[in-house]
Amino acid sequence: MTAMADARRRAGLTALYLGIFATVWLSVPETEPPFGVLLVTASIAALLTAGAGGALAVRSRAEGPLWRDAIADRIYLVILAGELAAAGFGAVLLAVTGHAPYVPVLVGAVVGLHFWPLAPVLRDPALRVLAGLICLAAMVGLIAGMTSSVPPGKVVGTGVGVLLLGYAIGALIRGGMTLRASHP
């Protein structure tokens, strides 16, 4: 597989995965119209982005065999397992102690933190920016939950969902640009 096809495949997979997770995060907040309509619209956009990312990844696969890095795959799985364990354990702990509304804050922070070590594994240094922004969204949700009547899940779900959608769209655009560059 050529370097451009590999970059296209990675961009497509990024758009696919982050589009799906953006949809999940955008479904966290319980809101009434008109804000609820915006979240549904963003969720649909996230699903469309995921679909386009999947199509880009499949199209790039047709250009040759996938290049796999067994060590990077193992590191990825360790990071993912750590993320799931931390988020799961923390969510149970918060629920048991009566702080269930703060589960999205914890999960958002863990998701943000997991992008930091994934950046070199996925060869995408911009994931560190996404990591910082997602952690910031989690912090804003925490502050909102502690100082106002706004549910922290509404802030974190919306913030993380929009950030993931934005990053997925950016990946799709980058992948499309490599497609255009390879087919003048």
Residue 2 has pLDDT above 80, yes or no: no
Q: Model confidence at 184, in pLDDT bands (50, 70, 90)?
A: low
Closest by CA position to 115, among listed 69, 170, 76, 172: 76
Q: What is the mean pLDDT of residues 144-164?
A: 96
Q: What is the pLDDT of residue 67?
A: 72
Q: What is the mean pLDDT of residues 62-91?
A: 90
Residue 179 has pLDDT above 70, yes or no: no
Q: What is the pLDDT of residue 5?
A: 80
Cβ neighbors of 148 (< 8 A, separation 6 or more) are: none
Query: What are the pLDDT digits (tens) for 84-99?
Result: 999 999 999 999 999 9
CB 5, CB 124: distance < 8 Å: no
Q: What is the pLDDT of residue 60?
A: 84
State the virtual CA torsion across 157, 26, 52, 18 in degrees, nearest 10. Answer: 20
Which has more pLDDT, 5 or 50? 50
Which has more pLDDT, 60 or 158? 158
The fraction of the chain above a pLDDT of 70, given in percent, is 95
Nearest-angstrom CA–CA distance, 43 and 176: 22
Q: What is the pLDDT of residue 93?
A: 98
The fraction of the chain above a pLDDT of 90, given in percent, is 76
Q: What is the pLDDT of residue 178?
A: 74
Query: What are the pLDDT digits (tens) for 16-53?
Result: 999 999 999 998 887 777 888 899 999 999 999 999 99
What is the pTM for the complete model shown?
0.92
